[in-house]
A and B are shown apart, each in its own frame.
Chain A
Amino acid sequence: MIASEPGTPLRSTPPTPRLTPPASVTLAQLALLFARIGLTSFGGGLSAWLYREVVDARGWLDEDEFLGALTMSQILPGSNVVNLSIYIGHKLRGGLGSLTAVLALLLPPMIVAVLLGIVFAHLSDIQWLHNFLEGLAASAIGLTASVGLRGARHSLIDGYWPLVLIVVVFVAIGVLHWPLVPVVIALAGCSLLLARRRL
C-alpha cells in the first residue's frame, strides 16, 4: 500500500537536519568517541550516553533510526549497547567501523574493571563510597529515563497510538516483568499494522 504512494510525505514535520554528514566520520573519531563513552559512562545506561553523543550532539543518526536500531539490539542476544555499537559503527564506517566501535567501547572499561578489582579489597568496607556509587547510579538511571521521555515526546508527532504502545511495553516489561522477546514480537506486529495505517 505504501509503495504505491510515493508522493506521500513520511511525516508531518521535517526530519531533524544532520549536523555532520556521516560519511565524514573517521575511524579515529569513532574509536575516540566510543572509548570515551565506555570510560565515562558510570552507572550503566550506555544507550542513553550513546543517544546524547550520536543523535543530540553529532546528528550521525536521526532519532527514529537510533530507536529502531536500539529495539533490534534488544531483541537480539548480547549486550544491547554492544549490538547498538555494531550498528552505529557499520552505518558510519562499515565492518571495520563495527569492530572499531566495539573494541573501543569494551577494552578500556575491561582494563579499568580489573584494576578496580585489584584495589577493591582495600576499599570494600568504606560505606560512603558505596553511597556515592548508589547516588551516581540513580542519576544515571535518570539519564536513561530522560531518553525514554524524549522518545515519548517524539512519538507524539504520529498521534497518540505510539504513546499507548509505550505505556503497554512499560507495564508489561517494567512493572509486570513479562518475558521480553514474546512481548516485543507481539507488540511489534501491532505497531507495524498501526504504522502502515497511519501513512
Chain B
Amino acid sequence: MRDNLYLRLIAVFAPLSLMSIGGGQSVVADIHTQSVEIQHWVTQAQFVDLFALSRAAPGPGALLTTLIGWHVAGWLGALIASIALFGPSSVLAYIATRAWHRHRDKPWYQIVQRALAPLATGLILSSAFTVLRAASGTLSLWLIAAISAVLFYRLPKLNPLPILLVAGIVQVVAQIWL
C-alpha cells in the first residue's frame, strides 16, 4: 500500500505544479482541499500547523508540500511530494529560459526586459502588501515592516539576517508590553 501512497502524492502534486501560476502561494488553497478534504492525509488542525511551519522554516513557502509528503509517508514521501510539485514547473521554466536566452542579442530583447521591469516591481510591492495584510496585522508588525523596508532600502549591502532576528525580538517584547 506504501507504493500506492507515493503514486497518489505524485498524482496530487504534479498537476498542481503546472497550476501554480503566480508563485507557490497561489495553490495553497488547492493543496488544502486535496490533502484535508479529498485525500484525508491531514486534519484541518494539522494542516494549519504544517502551514505555519512552512512559513517559519527558511526557504520557499512551497515547503508546505514537503511537509505534507513527510507527514503522509516519511522522508521518502517528503522527497517525492517535493519533486512532484517542483519538477514539472521547473522543466517548463528551463525551456522558457533557454528560449529567452537565445534571443538575448536581438534589439527587442532589451525593450522587452525594460517593459517587464515595472510589472515585476509592481508585483513585488503587491506581494509584500498582501502578505502583510494577511498576517494578523497588529500595529507593531506594520511598523516593523515599514522600518525594515526603509533600512534595507537605504543600506543595500547590509546583511538582512541580524535585522530579521532583532525584528523577531522586538515583536516578542511588543506583545509582552502592549
Contact = CB atoms under 8 A, between A and B. Distances in A.
Contacts of A158: 114
Nearest to A11: B114
B89 A76 contact: yes
A55 to B, nearest CB: 9
Interface string B121-160: 1111111111110011000111011111111110011001
Interface string A147-162: 1111110110010001
Interface string A92-133: 000100100010011011101110110010001001101111
Given A77-B20, A135-B167, A150-B156, A110 B82 contact: yes
A30 interface: no
B118 A44 contact: no
Interface in A159-174: 162-163, 165-170, 173-174
B53 interface: yes
Contacts of B117: 63-64, 67-68, 71, 151, 154-155, 162
B89 A82 contact: yes
Contact of A70 (B67, B120, B149): B120
Contacts of B146: 142
Nearest to B138: A134
Interface in B25-81: 26, 49-50, 52-63, 66-67, 70-71, 75, 78-79
A170 B125 contact: yes
B2 interface: no
A196 B62 CA distance: 37
Nearest to A3: B107
Interface residues of A, number: 107
Contact of A78 (B53, B86, B112, B148): B86
Contacts of B12: none
Contact of A87 (B86, B97, B112, B121): B97
B119 interface: yes
A20 interface: no
A49 interface: yes
B1 interface: no
Nearest to A63: B117
Given A106-B86, A138-B148, A188 B116 contact: yes
B175 interface: yes
A31 interface: no
Given A77-B20, A131-B172, A150-B156, A95 B94 contact: yes
Interface in B86-119: 86, 88-90, 92-94, 96-98, 100-101, 107-108, 110-119
B11 interface: no
A136 B160 CA distance: 11
Given A64-B117, A68-B116, A135-B167, A170 B126 contact: yes
B56 A191 contact: no
Given A68-B113, A180-B123, 4 more contacts: A67-B116, A72-B100, A131-B168, A188-B119
